[in-house]
Structures are given as structure tokens and as C-alpha cells.
A and B are shown apart, each in its own frame.
Chain A
Amino acid sequence: MSDIGTAQHHAQDTELLVARELTMRFGGLTAVDAVDFTVPAQRIVSLIGPNGAGKTTFFNMLTGLYHPTEGQLTFMGQDTFGRPPHQIAQLGMSRTFQNIRLFREMTCVDNVLVGMHTKLRGGFLATMLRLPSHRHEEREGIELARELMRFVGIHERHAELAGNLPYGDQRRLEIARALASRPSVVLLDEPAAGMNPQETYALEGLMHRIRDELGCTVLLIEHEMKLVMSVSERVTVLNFGRKIAEGAPQDVRNDPAVIEAYLGSSDGAVVADGYDQPTEAAS
């Protein structure tokens, strides 16, 4: 898989998402500085970097929550630079949030149904008159929502308010909500944060299934290096808003620039977050 990192150079047409020299400035602060980034179809690619490296800012630019200062952005063959989030979501990009942003006072099923927003017709007249088309759509939407909740493993909790779920299940519900629009790319912003090892393992399996069974590309931001290194097919490292390395996990973890960014010096250690002991099983 080590050639994935270079695939962008010769396989332009298979890239779902292409960012060129994408830059975001907040006043005098350059949070993301001229980053080139591509996302190939049906892969799991990761974006890592120390805290404050600009990863979430980069996600926010891709999904339209931030208007990038400079650069080019193409998604599914369309120019999405500076487009509003709902248009980008309509093209097939969805995301989860670093600090879980579920609709807490709505049930789990309704959360997933909101995720289906772009796929539902919901015409005003059909709704108002409760036409059969509207009733069918609602019923089938609920069925699909349950199917998706089964996929992430929280199908027994459909009637509960999202805010009442335990933390790990909230993360899964957020993923289900993101998948509900049948996206071609799903952006996961630190999905393993706060998860125990067992849940993290399960999450890794879930990401593989998202790629293999749904054919959906996963773009991952994560601090849990073990997860990143085992699940990713390509890793991009940001530091202070700049891309400092990109390539297969093994190459990136031995990159002196990356080691310096994480540890401050080149002492030969693998990328670690201080919580995980480096093990061979991770690679």
C-alpha cells in the first residue's frame, strides 16, 4: 500500500477531493498554510499532527464551515471553494465533530433521519396533505435509519434521546448520522477520543467496514496513534499549519520531521502520544 502516497500524481481522476495550496488565516495567524491534500476513492486516509496543528481547521474548510482564505478546493469534480456547508454536504461529504455535536433533544432515529436530509424529498404539499408518497418516504427512512444504527451497533437504542446515550454510543450515533446521507467521503474528527481500548478496536473494524461494505472513503483525524497506524492507508502530518510529511504509515512514523514535531528531538522513538506504549502489533 506504500504507493498510495504517490497515487495522487498519476491518478488525478480518481481523487474525490483535491485541495491545492489551501490556506486559512485568522487575522494575523495562519492556521493552515498552503496545504496540498488529496483524498482517493474508497481508502482510509488520516490527518495527524500535534494539538493546534490546524487539522480541525482543515476539516472545517473542506466541509465549508470556514471560508478558506486562499487556494483551490475540488470535490467530486466540482469547485467547492467557499461553498456553504449544506451544498458541500449535498455533493456527498459528511462529517463528525471533535466535540460531539448530536441533536441531543432528539431521538437517535431522528438524528439519523436528519442525516438523511439531502436524500429525502419531503415536498411541502406532500407533507401537508400526508400523501402516500410522503408516508412511504418517512417509513422507509426510518427503516434505513435503523439499518444504519444496526451497522454501527446501537440499534437497541433507537427510541432514546441522543443526549442520554453513553459517550461511546454517542460517537457511534454521530458516525451513523454522517453515513445516513450516503456520502462518498466521511470525515471523522477524533472518533476515538474518550474511548476505551475495546471500543477503539471496534471503531477500527467499523472504519474498515465503512470502506469495504459501503464503499465510502474515510478521512480521519486522530490522536490515538495505534489506531491511525493500523487503519490508515495513507497518513498526512500537519504541524503549525504546514504539511510536514505524507505517505504510508511506516514511512511517516520514521520520518525525522514527524518525530521532531511530536517529541521535539530525534531520539529514534516511534510516534507516540504518551498513552500508548509503542508495540509491533500497531503496524
Chain B
Amino acid sequence: MPTVRERLGRHAPLFVLAFALIFPLIEGSLGLGMMNPLLRILTSVMLAMGLNIVVGFAGLLDLGYVAFWAIGAYCVGWMASGHFSTIKVHVMSGLPEAIPGIHLSIWLIFPIAAVLTAVFGVLLGAPTLRLRGDYLAIVTLGFGEIIPKVFQNGDDIGGHNLTNGTAGISGLDAPQLGGATGDAMLGLGWGTWGPLNLLPWYYLAIALCVLCYYVSVTMQWSKLGRAWMAIREDETAASAMGIHCVNAKLWAYGIGASLGGLAGVYHGARIGSIFPSSFQFYISIAVLCAVIIGGMGNVWGAIVGAFVVEGLNFWLLPSLTSWAAAVGLDIDFSSWNMLIFGVLLVVMMLYRPQGIFPSKSRKLVFDDEPGRPGDQHYPGGMHGPDGDGPHTPMPSPPGPGIPATPGIPAQELADVAASHRLAPERVVQQPAAPARPLPASVRFPRYGAGSNPFDRRADPDIEVAPA
């Protein structure tokens, strides 16, 4: 039976979600003024969860993750603004048809951008497949620099103004949730989202974070997620287990990138304008630090890490500055962020290199088995005499080991004892593990149907050699 603590732990995500849902009430009544930085922090939470898939699960060090954020942001720039002014495309935009440009509803842009960034994730990941470690990091770093540069210089690609260069794309459509009808139904300000109406943005961010969390956790304990972790641990062994490492890595790049793309769409739509200068290398590093500080490979680690790193950047330091100003001190704490950040990283790496929440493995609790024996004397340990010197008695194994073939002759056991100069009672036949029939529910079609699913003696593809 799970303890109270375990039950609480299992439902912890729901408690956190409930707190997140009522947080605006608390924030509003206390007048903390945290909403604006919080929206930026939540964007980083999405990014951290996306990067965690690539770096934490699959172990592919990606220093250019900002590229996918940028692509997501430009998706909304292209598809929900008057940028392409020569054409008029309106899909559920709720805007007058006469307005030039491509105007898609943001609810359509999210899935489109997710697919598009996933494709870019695969395209950018493909050249790096044969690289490991440092070399991989350098190449991804290059991609992280190339993509913003392309956007920066994309105002004249064969005569087409694709990205409007350094001026960026501005005047993005405000998202609509049913327009005026939505306003009437959902309350003031929910039908059409203004830049000063932060509540809908907040709940959208929470919804996206929940989506990223769901994707991360679902993938983590699936065939693909285990393949990622196997590749992270040992790529050679993973391939010997039948894992197509190339495919698995491309999936990681694709899914990680699409989460980054979602964050980009959100960010672009919220800011309402997109500038290539805002997609700096620093952002890749900040998100990577969030993943590392939080604990690589742990979804909650990524979330908390993003809160720590970006909370420092966007809330704590500006707040400190304004508090200092309130008491008459003129200190710009925000300019210290790199210093504080660097010290934080060094301290973390010295004292808790595994991160705030170290990558935890799944705890499986079975009703029909006790927990592991907590003692030191487990059969199979490296006890027993191999070298010289007086032999200490080897403890008799308390539990079953590999069940020996039934009936090793006593003489043979004695021979072993003699040949290794062991006391005869120390060479014992280990009892066989107790048989436990598989639950009747287990019907694994790709394994044998008999009492032993792994038995392949009756397989038609194997012919036994004549003895």
C-alpha cells in the first residue's frame, strides 16, 4: 500500500496546477505586480521542458535551442499579421476580410507551428546525428546562430521580403476567442486579448505548460522515451538492443523543437511584434542552465530550474533595483545578472551537480512483492575469496540467486570447495526462485503464448540441429 506521502507525491502535479490556477487571484489581491515577468518566466518553463527532452532525456547537448523559439515566433509573425501585404488570406481570424496579409487564428497557428518547428528540428538534427558530445554542441551552437541571422537578413531573399530584416514584424493580430460573442460569453476582455489584459495570457501559458508537461511525462515512460535514455546512457548498447538510434534522435529533436516552437508562438503573439535581435545566444544558455540547475532528465527539474533562472532575470533583479530605488539607492541589479548567474552555476556544480531535482527513475510498486531486501549481504555481491590471505567466511545467501541447475552432485560441489580452498559449507546449491505464474491478463502477442512467453522452442523459424 502506498503511504500517505507517496499518495501526496503522486498528486503533487495537481496541487501545483490548482495553485497556478488560483494564483492570479492571490497576486491581484496582494498587488504584487508579478504578472508581466511571470508570463515571460512561463515561456521559459515551456522552453526548458522542450530542451529537457533533447538534453535531459536523449542526452544530446543542444546549444542552439533558441532557433526553434525564433521559428515559432516568426510563424505567428507570418501567419497573423499584415506582413505579406500582397495577399489576403483569412482563416477564422475574426478580422475584416479587407485587411491585407495572412491572418490565421492563433489556435490554428499553434498546431501548424508545432509541426513546422518539428520539421526544422529534424532538419537541423539530421546533420548532427553522427556527432557526439562536444562536437554536437558546437554544431548546434552554429545552428542557433544561423537561424536568427537568417531572420535578420531575410528582407531580400531573391527579391522577396521574408522577415523584414532588423525591423522585424510588428502589428501582430491579437488572439480572439470568439470575438464580440466571446466577450459576451466569457467576460470582458476574454474575447479579444489586449496587451494590458494579462489574465487570458496567463491561463494560455498555464495551458501550454500543462501540454508540455503532458508530452514530456508521456514520452518519458514510453518505448521512445526509454530508447532516448538508453542512447543517453550508452549508444552502442542501445543499438545492440535493436534501437534505431538515428530515428530515436530525430524524434527527440523533432518533439523538443516543436515544444520550443509552441513557446515561440506564444511569445510572439503576446509581445505583438518580433525582432530578430531578441533571439540571442544568451537565451539558449539560460534555458540550458535552467535544465541543468533543475536536474537534467527531470521534468519538474526543468520547471523549477526555469523559475529559478528566469525568475532571477525577469523578476528578482528588477524588483531589487526598484526596491533599492525606493530607499534612495541607485543600483541597477539587473546589470549584475550574469555575475549572479555565474556564481549560482558554480555553486550548483560544486555542491549539487545533479541539479535541484535529480533525474529520478520511476518507482514501480507491486502488490505481490515485498520491497528489496535492505541488507548488505545479497547473493551475487563481490564477497568471497579471490586473492590470498585468510578467507573470511562467506555468508550464506539469504535469498534466491540464479537458480542453479537442479541437482548438482554433492561430489561436484565438494570438488569446487576443494579446488578453491573453501570450507565445504560455503559452496552451496542456491535454491531455485519460487515460481510465480504470470497474471492471466498478460497476453503479449509478440511473445509466445505458452506458460513461458520467452520459450521459442516451438517457433517455426527455428529448426533444431540433430543432436
Q: A109-B364, A140-B444, A181-B242 are in contact. Are A101 and B236 (CB under 8 A)?
A: yes
Bound state CA distance, A214 and B456, in angstroms? 6
Chain A residues, CB < 8 A from B359: 105
Q: In the complex, which residue of chain A has the Cβ closest to the Cβ of B439? A: A143
Which stretch of B166-174, B214-222, B316-324, B334-342 is in the interface? B214-222
A144 and B430 form a contact (CB under 8 A): no
| Interface flags, B377-407, vs A, CB<8A=1, else 0 | 0111111111000000010000111111100
Q: A105-B233, A117-B227 are in contact. Are A130 and B218 (CB under 8 A)?
A: yes
Q: A101-B236, A144-B442 are in contact. Are A156 and B452 (CB under 8 A)?
A: no
A150 and B215 form a contact (CB under 8 A): no
A182 and B242 form a contact (CB under 8 A): no
A114 and B230 form a contact (CB under 8 A): yes
Nearest-neighbour CB distance to chain A for B335, whole angstroms, equals 39
Chain A residues, CB < 8 A from B382: 166-168, 194, 196
Which stretch of B34-42, B121-129, B259-267, B459-467 is in the interface? B459-467
| Interface check A203, CB cutoff 8 A | yes
B229 and A110 form a contact (CB under 8 A): yes
Bound state CA distance, A7 and B466, in angstroms? 8
Q: A42-B465, A94-B240, A168-B381 are in contact. Are A281 and B415 (CB under 8 A)?
A: yes
Chain A residues, CB < 8 A from B221: 138
Q: In the complex, which residue of chain A has the Cβ closest to the Cβ of B380? A: A168
A202 and B226 form a contact (CB under 8 A): no
A15 and B400 form a contact (CB under 8 A): no
Chain A 98-134 residues near chain B, CB threshold 8 A = 101-107, 109-110, 113-115, 117-122, 124, 127-128, 130, 134
Q: A155-B369, A196-B384 are in contact. Are A214 and B464 (CB under 8 A)?
A: no
| Contact residue among A76, A124, A146, A153 (Cβ-Cβ distance under 8 Å from B403) | A153
| Interface check B420, CB cutoff 8 A | yes
Interface centre among B373, B386, B453 (most CB of A within 10 A): B453
| Interface check A179, CB cutoff 8 A | yes
B466 and A127 form a contact (CB under 8 A): no
Chain B residues, CB < 8 A from A147: 436, 438, 453-454
A156 and B465 form a contact (CB under 8 A): no
A114 and B241 form a contact (CB under 8 A): yes
Bound state CA distance, A136 and B406, in angstroms? 35
Chain B residues, CB < 8 A from A120: 223, 446
| Interface flags, B288-318, vs A, CB<8A=1, else 0 | 0000000001000000000000000000000
| Contact residue among A7, A64, A118, A198 (Cβ-Cβ distance under 8 Å from B427) | A198
Chain A residues, CB < 8 A from B215: 128
| Contact residue among B384, B402, B457 (Cβ-Cβ distance under 8 Å from A42) | B457
Nearest-neighbour CB distance to chain B for A69, whole angstroms, equals 20
Chain B 43-78 residues near chain A, CB threshold 8 A = none
Q: In the complex, which residue of chain B has the Cβ closest to the Cβ of A199? A: B380
A201 and B408 form a contact (CB under 8 A): yes
| Contact residue among A16, A110, A121, A137 (Cβ-Cβ distance under 8 Å from B362) | A110
| Interface flags, B98-119, vs A, CB<8A=1, else 0 | 0000000000000000000000
Chain B 338-382 residues near chain A, CB threshold 8 A = 359, 361-364, 366, 369-373, 378-382
Chain A residues, CB < 8 A from B385: 196
| Interface check B88, CB cutoff 8 A | no
B222 and A122 form a contact (CB under 8 A): yes
| Interface check A215, CB cutoff 8 A | yes
A156 and B229 form a contact (CB under 8 A): no
B226 and A106 form a contact (CB under 8 A): yes
Q: A103-B230, A106-B226, A166-B378 are in contact. Are A181 and B241 (CB under 8 A)?
A: yes
Q: A103-B233, A166-B380, A197-B416 are in contact. Are A84 and B239 (CB under 8 A)?
A: yes
Chain B residues, CB < 8 A from A161: 361
B240 and A119 form a contact (CB under 8 A): no
A127 and B462 form a contact (CB under 8 A): no
Chain A residues, CB < 8 A from B446: 119-120, 182
Bound state CA distance, A151 and B466, in angstroms? 27
| Interface check A47, CB cutoff 8 A | no
10 additional contacts, CB 8 Å, given A41-B465, A42-B465, A92-B461? A11-B466, A106-B233, A138-B222, A144-B447, A184-B461, A197-B384, A201-B404, A205-B402, A205-B404, A279-B415
Q: Name 14 interchain pairs, CB-CB below 8 A, sorted by A.
A: A1-B467, A41-B462, A86-B245, A102-B233, A106-B361, A110-B229, A110-B361, A146-B366, A156-B369, A166-B380, A168-B379, A205-B403, A214-B456, A215-B458
List residues of chain B with CB under 8 Å of any chain A CB.
Answer: 215, 218-219, 221-224, 226-227, 229-230, 232-234, 236-245, 251, 297, 359, 361-364, 366, 369-373, 378-386, 394, 399-405, 408, 411-412, 415-416, 419-420, 422, 427-428, 430, 433, 436, 438-439, 441-444, 446-448, 452-459, 461-467
